[in-house]
Chains A and B, each alone.
Chain A
């Protein structure tokens, strides 16, 4: 079975631009969560979507938004990029809204110049 997939793998953007990152969860999983991991730190929670509704939001500015589609895939959008948005963006999927085991994708490495 395919695991969580994310696209693109790497991305370079300029300050002020916007970016869209994509995530396909494991087949049958209805929950998708997004995390930001700055180099040298642990991942920080951004959003959780379950059954196409936002179920949790971390301490991130409104420049960050996300959505989940009927097939449970998800997009993370970041507007007005700042240098500090450079990070690895991770997507995690799970079967349930609350579960002990989440499956993470390999991430998208975003570099803002």
Chain B
């Protein structure tokens, strides 16, 4: 399976944008890039996904490099509620729903 590399932790100030990086240099052409987050004492929560083009939804934006070897999750205005572990996951569409989680990035948001 293609692997992802994320920083262990990041800090942000409340109401400022946050850019969470993810490297996936061995990504294959059929791998989708998924982001999930896990708030304290909760199960993971879907954030966003993409294949080649940048994506926006109500929670975040996903910027995908042209060569697809890296991506960035963008939270436009961090709130205290965004403090969580963010997981970048590569998912082959024919692999059922199996998600391979790595260690993720722990995002801390300071008031």
The answer to whether A and B belong to the same complex is yes
Taking CB atoms, residues of chain A closer than 8 Å to B102 are 42
When the two chains form their complex, are residues B97 and A42 in contact, meaning their CB atoms are under 8 A apart? no
B59-111 with Cβ < 8 A to chain A: 85, 87, 91, 93-104
Q: What residues on B are CB-neighbors of A98 within 8 Å?
A: 93-97
Whether A101 touches B95, Cβ cut-off 8 Å, given contacts A41-B103, A42-B104, is no
Cross-chain contact B46 with A106 (CB below 8 angstroms): no
Please tell me if the beta carbons of A42 and B96 are within 8 angstroms of each other in the complex.
no
Given that A42-B102, A43-B101 are contacting pairs, would A97 and B42 also be in contact in the complex, using a CB cutoff of 8 Å? no
The complex places the Cα of A50 from the Cα of B96 at a distance, in Å, of 9
Partner of B87, one of A42, A94, A102: A42
With A42-B101, A56-B97, A92-B97 known as contacts, the answer to whether A101 contacts B44 (CB < 8 A) is no
CB < 8 Å: which of A35, A44, A101 contacts B46? A101
- Chain A, residues 82-112, CB within 8 Å of chain B (1/0): the string is 0000000010101001111111111100000
CA distance A99 to B93 in the complex (A): 8
Which chain A residues border B91 with CB–CB below 8 Å? 100
Instruction: For the complex, count residues of A whose C-beta is within 8 A of B.
Output: 28
Q: Is the CB of B97 within 8 A of A107?
A: no
Chain B residue at minimal CB-CB distance from A109: B41
- Across the interface, do A33 and B97 meet the contact criterion of CB distance under 8 Å? yes
Q: In the complex, how many angstroms separate the beta carbon of B92 from the nearest chain A beta carbon?
A: 9
Of B42, B46, B98, the residue contacting A33 (CB under 8 A) is B98
A55 within 8 A of B: yes
B32-A100 in contact (CB<8A): yes
Given contacts A99-B97, A101-B46, 10 further A-B pairs with CB under 8 A are A42-B103, A43-B44, A55-B97, A56-B96, A56-B97, A90-B43, A98-B93, A100-B32, A102-B99, A106-B43
**Interfacial residues, chain A to chain B (CB-CB below 8 A):** 4, 31, 33, 35, 41-45, 48, 50, 55-56, 58, 90, 92, 94, 97-107
